[in-house]
Chain A
């Protein structure tokens, strides 16, 4: 479904991605694991058109995304939950969800989808008229995911959904990610929390200094000595 071929990206003069190759097949959860500054976020931002690539290709359903603008990419079926959640702080929860459906025109279907998000995250229904800035970190993460789902993506990019959240809430969020995947959305998940990410993913890539170090089945990498030492705390 998504294929990154020899991706090179410069980020303010720094050679951030040095030839990344990643493949995501339909229906999978693929995770990209790595330390701070290894290029995880840059990879996702390049896929959604927020960064421009120097060379290489991004193919989504066979189409090259090189010359496609960020807003067009959303219409093609990729939705991105950015690092740090980035909900619209001064807008209400409802408005945030509504703006997630910006590319769509089917009003009654949008309303139905918003109700579905409320049943997936009941807390959002309780807080629907509150401004997003009043939500807790976990609630904001739920809102960011709900908002991203409203464009009805085929591929969901998730950037560190566990960041800054309590372990119990992290577990909830990952359960929901698996649930979303079961309902038919392909997922590319970027994480520092390698343990959680590898447990829920089908396949995984380990990224280091802008290069893919290792790739394979998530269950195998979970028991890989090198991965254990570097990312799973021995």
Chain B
């Protein structure tokens, strides 16, 4: 019985963690390249869920077409946000950029409420309602968990490929390591920043559709808490470091479900932020971050 409980919680934790990881990847990539905490990122995830909702409810698309289209639309939205809101203030202070990001976040949340009503909507059931027993125990694996985990892992592998093997990815790494030197190699900074926003936002859009199908309900403020949690995940792993975001996401997801299953579900958010405080105190560069000393 105990064993089943543990397996069940691990499955839940990994599913939740993969959502955090998907969102955290966008945070960390954008931070890596322009040193901006893009607080509007959680809202792109919300928009992804709404786009998925519209495509499946009104256009009756299936899960995968909706997932891919939603990723594309979020990518475009991310690029537009960068061009309209962040590019004009790229050379101003960090605090100005941060305030802009918060404004964009509020704009998206309340814009959605204004145009598409603040009500919670029911996301259609897209995936078969099937449960699989794990290893002949009583622990069950919902097919939805399988979809979440498989889609997330595939996207991460794809991202890994893009970043290490393609020109677009190499340009992104070069710009985040040294922007001036990257320009001297002939890399177009504006294009590379746009690409980063596109990829990060597409991942958030995918997370939105996955969560919509998993919990069957979406609302305009659904991005706030997962957005903050994903930010915590990115910091835990070391912000700006891509494997760190994945690690932080899974770590946070598994920790939260463990706390909940031990009867502390009321405190799971508090625990997440307590972990953030501990990480900032003890390992401010994150678990996978290097201790970099500022050169004077």
Residues of A participating in the B interface, judged by any CB pair closer than 8 Å: 48-50, 69-71, 74-75, 79-80, 82, 86-91, 95, 98-100, 102-103, 147-148, 151
Contacts and interface: CB of A to CB of B under 8 A. Distances in A.
Interface stretch (B43-51, B183-191, B263-271): B183-191
Given A95-B170, A98-B170, A151 B185 contact: yes
30 contacts: A48-B184, A50-B183, A70-B183, A70-B186, A70-B189, A71-B187, A71-B189, A74-B184, A74-B185, A74-B186, A79-B184, A80-B184, A82-B180, A82-B181, A86-B180, A86-B184, A88-B174, A88-B177, A88-B181, A89-B177, A90-B173, A90-B177, A91-B173, A98-B170, A99-B170, A100-B185, A102-B167, A102-B185, A103-B185, A151-B186
Which 7 residue pairs are nearest across A and B when measured between Cβ atoms? A74-B186, A103-B186, A70-B183, A86-B181, A71-B188, A71-B186, A102-B185
Categorize the interface residue count of chain B: 10 to 19
Given A71-B187, A102-B187, A103-B186, 10 more contacts: A50-B184, A70-B184, A70-B189, A74-B186, A88-B178, A89-B177, A90-B177, A98-B170, A102-B170, A102-B185
B171 interface: yes
Interface centre among B171, B173, B181, B188, by most chain A C-beta atoms within 10 angstroms, is: B181
Given A88-B174, A95-B170, A102 B186 contact: yes
Contacts of B171: 99, 102
A148 B181 CA distance: 10
Contacts of B174: 88, 91, 99, 102
Nearest to A81: B184
Interface in B163-214: 167, 170-171, 173-174, 177-178, 180-181, 183-189
A90 B167 CA distance: 16
Contacts, number: 62
Q: Is the interface of B mostly helix, strand, loop or mixed?
A: helix
Interface centre among B174, B183, B186, B189, by most chain A C-beta atoms within 10 angstroms, is: B186
Contacts of A100: 185
